[in-house]
């Protein structure tokens, strides 16, 4: 999740190749997609979406979707990507 937040797509790819538990959520209910969207790196978000293991509209414990967090953090390109993939 930290690698996704910091936009280290190569590290995320390595962890996935080593069978990281991608659908895992943290104590706040945030998924790797939530973290990637907070970080704002479009390529990392695209990679996470390509895995098809995280619900694009899943809500964390505060009721926020990944797209909500991308909006809150000012990552418009990420929001546009998510919406183009069917996010609310």
Mean pLDDT of the 63-81 span? 97
Tell me phi and psi for residue 77, to 5 degrees: -65, -35
- Is residue 56 pLDDT above 90, yes or no? yes
In whole angstroms, give the CA distance from residue 54 to residue 73: 20
What pLDDT digit, counting tens, does each position of 26-42 carry? 999 999 999 999 999 99
The predicted model scores a pTM of 0.95
**Coil vs helix vs strand at 49:** helix
Confidence of residue 22 (pLDDT cuts 50, 70, 90): very high
Q: How many domains does the chain have?
A: 1
Domain hosting 41: range is 2-84
The full length of the chain comes to 88
CATH of the domain at 70: 1.25.40.20
Is residue 73 very low, low, confident or very high in pLDDT (cuts 50, 70, 90)? very high
Residues 72 and 37: their CA atoms lie apart, in Å, by: 10
88 pLDDT above the threshold of 90: no
């Amino acid at each position: 999740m930290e690698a996704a937040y910091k936009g280290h797509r190569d590290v995320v790819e390595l962890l996935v190749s080593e069978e990281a538990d991608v659908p895992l959520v943290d104590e706040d209910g945030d998924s790797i997609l939530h973290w990637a969207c907070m970080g704002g790196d479009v390529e990392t978000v695209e990679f996470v979406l390509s895995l098809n293991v995280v619900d694009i509209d899943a809500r964390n414990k505060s009721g926020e979707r990944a797209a909500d967090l991308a909006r809150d953090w000012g990552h418009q390109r990420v929001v546009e990507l998510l919406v183009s993939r069917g996010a609310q």
